[in-house]
Structure 1
Amino acid sequence: MSPLVISPDEAPAVASLAETTRADVEDLLVLEAELLDDWALDEWAGLYTPDARYVVPATDDRDGDPDHNLMLIDDDGLRLRSRVERLKSRKAHREYPHSNTRHLVSNIRLRAIEGDELLVTAAFAVFRYRNRQAVHYVGRYRYRLVVAGNRLMIRHKRVELDLTALRPANDVAIIL
């Protein structure tokens, strides 16, 4: 069965952050998960603003500050799009052929509006299957969402892993 054709245009249309509901946010986060699981990485990147940031702190310092601490991943908008291009390439040996993944998002909470950003947290579990091996990643997402062009978009995503070490995962070759 072929994957569904999903577009970032399916991101929730909202007039303002003040009118944004938990259902709007849930629709955006579920759309993001579907795009990642379908390896629709260009469409996934389309959910992010040009000034986006995608951060994964080291497992020994979940509260680490990317301006002062070592991060597993610290991508700005340009590096995020470069990551997408690398993962789509046959030269990305860690992900060619692509892993089968399943991103599960739950416990979505709208925390506060700060300036032009809606702060959101959610729990996640990502299951990755490749070369007869199963690996799971579990933790918390922290998002900063904005309204751009009447669409809810992601300006910042922080992935805080509950893992205390990357073993047995060994790496973070996929987008969490």
Structure 2
Amino acid sequence: MTVKTLERQEVVDFLYEEALLLDEWKLMEWAELFTDDATYKVPPLGEPDADARTSLFYIHDDRTRIQDRAERLLKKEAHVEYPHSTTVRNYHNIMLKDLDSDIIKAACNFTLHRTKREVVDTFIGRHTYDLVQQDGELRIKNKKAVLKLDSLRPHGKISLIL
């Protein structure tokens, strides 16, 4: 398969589009950004390199679970997110490597502000991505969100997708 060398801005725009889809609760469209063999991980606080075989991850999804999570969160029966939280995601300090290879490495810091029932939560952390070109489009092969928090707010919820 021939891989087109992408410009930096094309990849940055893709990451911003991902953030926008999540903020607009277009979770089915977001799930479609992932390849069939994708993974999405949110490791435990303070353990960014944890092994899923020995540690409990907040999220450790394959493509099927990504789709299931998106579908579930959009249902009225998902009481924790109905009505939906209002979120604003900011991606910053975006670093890219291997723009001309089969797998593009991307990393960025993120700030996620969430408000629900007059409570505002802020999550900060770092995303890392393995991105690939598939049928002429960028897709996420692997995504990891490392939360840079000391702890989660008591009774805080991370039901939203980080």
TM bin (shorter chain): over 0.9
Aligned residue in 2 for 1:108: 94
Amino acid at match of 2:10: D
What percentage of residue pairs aligned between the two structures are identical?
38
Could you tell me whether the CA contact under 8 Å between 1:118 and 1:144 is conserved in 2?
Answer: yes
Question: Does 2:42 match 1:45?
Answer: no
In structure 2, runs of 5+ residues without a counterpart are: none
Q: Verify: 1:166 aligned to 2:159, yes or no.
A: no
Provide the TM-score with structure 1 as the length reference: 0.85
One-letter amino acid of the structure 2 residue matched with residue 146 of structure 1 = V
Counterpart residue number, 1:12: none
Post-superposition offset of 1:33: 0.6
Say how many residue pairs are matched. Answer: 161
Q: Deviations over 1:13-36 (max 9, x none)?
A: xx726x122211111000001101
Alignment partner of 1:143 is 2:129 = yes
The C-alpha deviation readout for 1:28-74, integer Å capped at 9, x for no partner, is: 00000110111011111111111111100001312213344321110
Structure-1 separation of matches of 2:114 and 2:23? 10
Q: In the alignment, which residue of structure 1 is the partner of 2:6? A: 20
Whole-Å Cα distance in 2 between the matches of residues 152 and 50 of structure 1? 13
Match status 1:90 vs 2:66: no
Contact (CA 8 Å) 1:57, 1:159: kept in 2 or not? Answer: yes
Which consecutive unaligned segments of at least 5 residues does structure 1 have?
A: 1-14
Moved beyond 4 Å, runs of 4+: none
Q: Answer yes or no: is the 8 Å Cα contact 1:55–1:66 preserved in 2.
A: no
TM-score between both structures, scaled by the size of structure 2: 0.92
Q: What secondary structure does 2:150 align onto?
A: coil
Shift of residue 137 of structure 1?
0.6
Equivalent runs, 1:37-76 vs 2, <5 Å: 37-76=23-62
Aligned-residue RMSD, C-alpha: 1.8
1:120 to 2:106 alignment: yes
Check conservation: 1:53, 1:74, Cα contact below 8 A: yes
